[in-house]
Structure 1
Amino acid sequence: MKKSLLFLFASLVLISCKNQENETEFQFKKYDETAALEAQRNHKNGRMKFKLFQSKVLDMNEVYKPFQSELKKFSDEEYNNLKPLILEQDIPTLQRHVKDGTLSYEKLTIFYLYRIRKFESDSTLSLNSIIALNPNVLKEAREKDANKSNVSEFSMYGMPVLLKDNINTKEMPTTAGALALQRNYSKSDAFIVEKLRANGALILGKVNLSEWAYFFCSGCPLGYSAIGGQTLNPYGRAEFETGGSSSGSGVAVAANFAVAAVGTETSGSITSPSSQNSVVGLKPTIGVLSRTGIVPISSTLDTPGPMTKNVIDNAIFMNAMRGFDQNDSKSKEIDEEYVQNGFRNSFKGKRIGVFKPLLTDSIYALNIEKMRKVGVEIVEITPPEISFNGFVTLLNIDMKYDLPKYLSENADKSLFIKNVKDVIEFNKKDSLLRAPYGQQLFEGIERDQTTIAELEVIKENLKTEANKYLQALESEDLDAILSINNYHSGIAAVSFHPTLTVPMGYKTSGEPISLTFVGKPFEERNLLELGYAFEQLTKARKMPKNYQ
């Protein structure tokens, strides 16, 4: 009898210790970053001479509290068994796994929660990509499982997605990475979030970004925010830039922390991080997707857009976000189906322009040659010299008026800040914490006295010049013009052309590089068709080796 009791006691102690190990194994702990920061001082890229890595305000243990009991039940063995079903799989494949019973929406969601915690709690692998998690997401996933019926393979139903943290959600604050917005609890979702929920998507959480969408400090690191700390690139932590401002969106998708993520772009903020993290990013024409409930820079140029691991998912994501928004003056009625039973894997009959000056890039030139060999008619373009004067002024004056409008109409009513000047004054009270790299661009907004009438002239001049640069789209009857990364994002932005970025390879250093398709306004479907054909031809994307 005594032996039985001793055995029982020992077993209980063992189980207790095992549970304690499970609880502490993935604890988020602050670490000494002195040596890492010292090493950064020698980085050849001035923007990557970091002042800090870790957030000084975010406690990820608090973020994970709502999931503690569920995660205790989820083992590393279950995680490893699910990896081949989930990692790098497109949405149609995931939906087929759910349909045949090998996966559920709940398992898919807890897999991502476990994976994020596994990597982000490891100081040698953490990417500082997550700012918040939806505390209700597992409950919502179980509801999706209980209510699923004839779910299309091309549906966002039950798919966990992440949002850039300048997009309003009811469950989580919307901070734009800024301490001034730390308690910005909006009463309603952004319009695109309402559409995502209506189409069955699961909002998994919020991701880090370049603070105030990188229109805040000058020459500062991409992917830094006072709330989230320094976002890092999974292909080279602290070695390669993350791109910005949708840094967390690109990083999280690349690391397989969700099915997909939403980014926002004013000029390059989707194309840049998509390129740097080897993911597919679409910056739609202004008006295709609503901006209501998104912290703005410019009502002239801002747009959200999908960031995914592949083109099919990008199109499915677009379908789930689109819709006419009467509260967005630029919103358009769009009847386009961005994916309908997939895409044709063909370049047949396509005429595509390439910029002659970019042909000196060996990876660009190699991919152009691959396309030429499968029948693409390549038209070489020598772009004209243009003037780009006034671009920063456009952003300054739009932000001066658009931020107060957002704060008045879409933000938490208890916020003490009402405009750019209030943010500047707030940050001055503790600049080491709130603005360690300065706030030069915000100060520039305050100084800029350009009138609305003068601004309209600037906008028109920029549009005219940019259209001149891309005139071959019309004059040569091109399906698209090919660029690299975000090289021509500003030009595409002010002339209202959509861009699609697709991975095309890696430099000898291992840094990702992407091909960017610049298309005609409102021809997103055509860009996605081209991007799909290119993706299938090259299959360039590879998972980051330390995140497999």
Structure 2
Amino acid sequence: MHRIKKFDRNNARSLNSVIALNPDVIKEAKEKDSAFQAGQRNHPIFGIPVLLKDNINTENMPTTAGAVALQKNNTDDAYIVERLKENGAIILGKANLSEWAYFFCGECPSGYSAVGGQTLNPYGRKILDTGGSSSGSAVAIAANFAPVAVGSETSGSILSPASQNSLVGLKPTIGVLSRGGIVPISSTLDTPGPITKNVIDNAILFSAMTGKDPQDPASAKSGRVNEDYYSSISKKNLEGVRFGALKPLMEDSLYIAAVNDLREAGAEVIEFEPEKVELPNFLRLLNLDMKKDLPEYFEKYGGSGEFRGVEDVIAYNSTDSLNRSPYGQALFEGIVKDSSTDKEFAAIKDTLKRNGRRFFDVPMKKHNLKGILSINNYHA
């Protein structure tokens, strides 16, 4: 907390990565210390402070998604927060984000929200981009404000800031972690996920959030209950493990260096030309999902009661746009204008799913690969 006060706000080195602190965190930390000394540790996450992206509901801090409209959005804990607490984690506070998870203003910088201001990259303050939308979650870990943080991703929002801040970010398979109580963009693609400094911490935080949430259809369908992803991790060599390298990326010096590191560790790296696939109507998928999913969040999980959907937020921001939406709200306006029949929407999702899978499945099968190597969120 001292380090956050010293480096995060209102000085020449501020990073604006933390949007709120848990008012009970000292009390909770003392309780965990006592429990730990009494041998009550039930998980490696026990007693570890965790920062949450501020689109994840918590009971004693408003969940704003960076939006002025949601500053009174007082809620119960999201399902993954319940799981973290059950496993002994301490919720340190909330991290800033690209407002509405970067699906709001269109031509605005990543890492900006009206509530939290502009998050800045500690490796190059005002020089390097933070990545988004889990900007504060990544910056806070890079700056040692917390050991681990939770982000969320629709398409690149964990991968990008993790990459930009030299961290480990994981977007899990949809449904392994519950989305219950998280401000949505797309029920087709959304998931929370861990952002950490190393792989073992990532696996521990990931495991601490797992559980079957009957309120989230994807979680209920996946059937994952209390997984352990960390016990089997070891520093094995990569002899015989086959990775695919995309030929168009082999002009990037850092990519080439990473490929060579893997080869020196014993991996086989097969260079290939990527499949030429189109992803038509991707923006429409997000529009149509959020048009349906945001009202569901307000109805089931939201705590302010003032808003029913995107139109209400647009109207609220329009009365004081300088302070509430200084970069405009072009993407929200696009959501309102978009519509489709159920049949058309199903066709959009089907095409995107088939084409997206083909991009990876064809080379994975053809070359018998364990994984494909990319950069940042290029292929999210």
Superposition TM-score, scaled by structure 1 size: 0.67
Establish whether residue 376 from structure 1 lines up as the match of residue 267 from structure 2: yes
Mapped pair 1:445 → 2:335: yes
1:174 aligns with 2:79: no
Tell whether the 8 Å contact from 1:390 to 1:458 is kept in structure 2 after alignment: yes
1:459 partnered with 2:341: no
1:371-410 map, 5 Å: 371-410=262-301
Once the two structures are TM-superposed, the CA of residue 370 in structure 1 deviates from its matched residue by 1.8
Q: AA paired with 2:287?
A: N
Aligned-partner SS, 1:162 = strand
Q: Which has the larger radius of gyration?
A: 1
Q: Distance in 2 between matches of 1:241 and 1:452?
A: 38
Write the letter of the residue equivalent to 1:480: G
What residue in structure 2 maps to residue 255 of structure 1? 143
Find the counterpart in structure 2 of residue 128 from structure 1: 16
**Residue type at the aligned position of 1:235:** Y
Alignment of 1:127-206 (within 5 A): 127-148=15-36, 149-150=38-39, 155-186=44-75, 188-206=76-94
* Partner residue of 2:198 out of 291, 310, 321: 310
Q: Secondary structure at the match of 1:330?
A: helix
The alpha-carbon deviation at position 245 of structure 1 amounts to 0.3
Q: What's the secondary structure of 2:208's corresponding residue?
A: helix
1:151–1:157 contact (8 Å) kept in structure 2: no
Aligned counterpart for 1:245 among listed residues 124, 133, 140 = 133
Q: How far, CA to CA, are the matches of 1:341 and 1:369 in structure 2?
A: 26
Matched AA of 1:419? G
Is contact 2:169-2:193 (8 Å) kept?
yes
One-letter code of the match for 2:74?
Answer: Y
Q: Which residue of 2 aligns with 1:358?
A: 249
Equivalent AA in structure 1 for residue 351 of structure 2: N
For 2:198 and 2:336, locate their aligned partners in 1 and report how far apart those are by CA, in whole Å. 41
Q: CA deviation at 1:153?
A: 10
Q: Does 1:436 align with 2:326?
A: yes
Cα distance 1:246–1:342, how it changes in 2: closer, same or farther (>3 A)?
A: same
Match of 1:41 in 2: none
> Is the CA contact 1:296–1:402 (under 8 Å) kept in the aligned structure 2?
yes
Rate the CA distance shift 1:350–1:134 in 2: closer, same or farther, 3 A: same
CA contact (8 A) 1:165 1:209 kept: yes
Instruction: State the match for 1:468 in structure 2.
Output: 358
Residues 222-259 of structure 1, C-alpha deviations (whole Å, 9 max, x = no match): 01000001111101111111100000001001001001
Q: Counterpart of 1:405 in structure 2: which amino acid? A: E
User: TM-score, normalised to structure 2's length?
Assistant: 0.96
In structure 1, distance between residues paired with 2:205 and 2:142: 16
Q: CA deviation at 1:334?
A: 2.3
**Corresponding residue SS for 1:443:** helix
> How far off is 1:417 after superposition?
1.2
Shift of 1:122: 5.1
- The 5-angstrom pairing of residues 231-380 of structure 1 reads 231-331=119-219, 332-334=222-224, 336-340=227-231, 342-380=233-271
- Counterpart Cα distance in 1 of 2:275 and 2:236: 33
Letter in 2 for 1:375: G
Please report how far the alpha carbon of residue 147 of structure 1 lies from its aligned counterpart in structure 2 after TM superposition: 1.2
Q: 1:153 to 1:474 in 2, by over 3 A?
A: farther
Check the 8 A contact 2:65/2:183 in 1, yes or no.
Answer: yes
User: 5+ residue gaps in structure 1?
Assistant: 1-112, 490-548
CA distance in 2, matches of 1:219, 1:183: 27
1:107-126 alignment runs, 5 A limit: 113-121=1-9, 123-126=11-14
Do the aligned residues in 2 keep the contact of 1:183 with 1:415 (CA within 8 Å)? no
**Distance in 2 between the 1:255 and 1:153 partners?**
28
1:344 and 1:366 mapped to 2: Cα distance?
20
Give the counterpart of 2:305 among 409, 415, 437.
415
Q: Distance in 1 between matches of 2:314 and 2:202?
A: 37
The Cα shift of 1:174 comes to 0.2
Is the Cα contact below 8 Å between 2:45 and 2:208 reproduced in 1? yes
CA contact (8 A) 1:176 1:295 kept: yes
Q: Quote how far apart the aligned CAs of 1:341 are.
A: 5.7
User: Closer, same or farther in 2 for the Cα pair 1:276/1:151, shift >3 Å?
Assistant: farther
Check whether the contact 2:43–2:87 (CA below 8 A) recurs between aligned residues: no
- Asked if the contact 1:289–1:303 (Cα under 8 Å) also holds between the matched residues in 2, the reply is yes
The number of residues matched between the two structures is 375
Matched position secondary structure for 1:470: helix
- Partners of 2:212 and 2:334 in 1: CA distance: 34
Shift of 1:381: 1.6
Quote the Cα distance in structure 2 between the aligned partners of 1:271 and 1:363: 17
Deviation at 1:120, TM superposition (A): 2.1
For 2:161 and 2:104, the matched residues in 1 are separated by 18
Shift of residue 150, structure 1, vs aligned partner: 4.1
One-letter amino acid of the counterpart of residue 285, structure 1: T
Structure 1: how far apart are the matches of 2:224 and 2:83?
A: 14
- Report if aligned partners of 1:393, 1:450 keep a CA contact under 8 Å in 2: no
Residues 480-524 of structure 1: CA deviation (Å, up to 9, x unaligned): 1000011001xxxxxxxxxxxxxxxxxxxxxxxxxxxxxxxxxxx
The amino acid of 1:373's aligned partner reads: E
Identity %: 57
Letter in 1 for 2:53: K
Deviation at 1:345, TM superposition (A): 3.0
Q: Is the partner of 1:397 in helix, strand or coil?
A: helix
By how many angstroms is 1:415 displaced?
2.6
Deviation of residue 475 (structure 1)? 3.0
RMSD, aligned CA: 1.3
